[in-house]
Amino acid sequence: MLFRSEFLTYRLPGAPRSYLRQLLRKGRVRRDDSPLDESAVLRPGDRVILPESARLRQLLALPPVPVILYETREMLIVEKPAGLAVHGSQGHEEDHLLGRIQALLQERRAPYSVAPVHRLDLETSGPILFAKGRQAAGRLGQLFMDGAAQKSYLALVAGELIGAGRLESPVRAKGKLKAATTDYRTLTGFGDFTLVELELLSGRTHQIRQQLSAAGHPLTGDRRYGGPTPPGLKRLFLHCRKLALPDPFGGPDVLVESPLPAELAQ
């Protein structure tokens, strides 16, 4: 849940707080058919309606401020929403996570550059680790190469999947079949669907999606690999819920947990 001011500040990062408070006080921000007051709490599924305004349209066109989950002198972990690319790429030249982070650091006047240490697929949400500076990028990148970092995912799959096990089917990556390993654990069932927790033991492109499809349990919302789409689901049901790694710079071990986005929790 979010308080109304937190939501408006996140969705309108360039708007002065005094301007947003003024809209609330005048009853110009509505939840469905009722004005939102300054003490209101928003919950998943609420529809927030803003007044018609050229200024608001301009502010809404600005990309949202990245949600920071963890930060030290050498690293920054932020939440990546589904549908947002990590890097600039074809079709995502103007808006991507790296660009949003760079804009944030420009506002801070930070004296360093950042680089993502790992990636998530375009349609997957969850935490992404950025390194601050080249030295940090090298040391953090080595952790991932050595398998010292762990990523756990939540996925809703088709069919009944019972217990725990390991998927070891090869996946196609860069035009070649490559070995891949994923551990899974069933959390609960929903009739024709099962909610599972997954841990990658190798890192291949679309590894989870390909292996679950090959096992006869494709991800819901995954049209590319034959997954069904339950009513109301508008995205791939795959979310990185946890990122854990040792701090190579002498700090405590890092454990970042990310709750299911509202559109999946709902």
The residues with which 199 forms a beta bridge, in sequence order, are 152, 183
Among the listed residues 18, 60, 15, 67, the one whose alpha carbon sits nearest the alpha carbon of residue 38: 18
**Which residue is catalytic, options 32, 121, 247, 253?**
121
Q: How far apart are CA 80 and CA 120, in angstroms?
A: 8
Which of helix, strand or coil describes residue 226?
Answer: coil
Helix (H) or strand (E) segment spanning residue 4: helix 4-11
The answer to whether the beta carbons of residues 187 and 197 sit under 8 Å apart is yes
123: tokens are: 């349609």
Let me know if 247 is a catalytic residue. no
Among the listed residues 196, 123, 188, the one whose alpha carbon sits nearest the alpha carbon of residue 153: 196
Residues noted as catalytic: 121
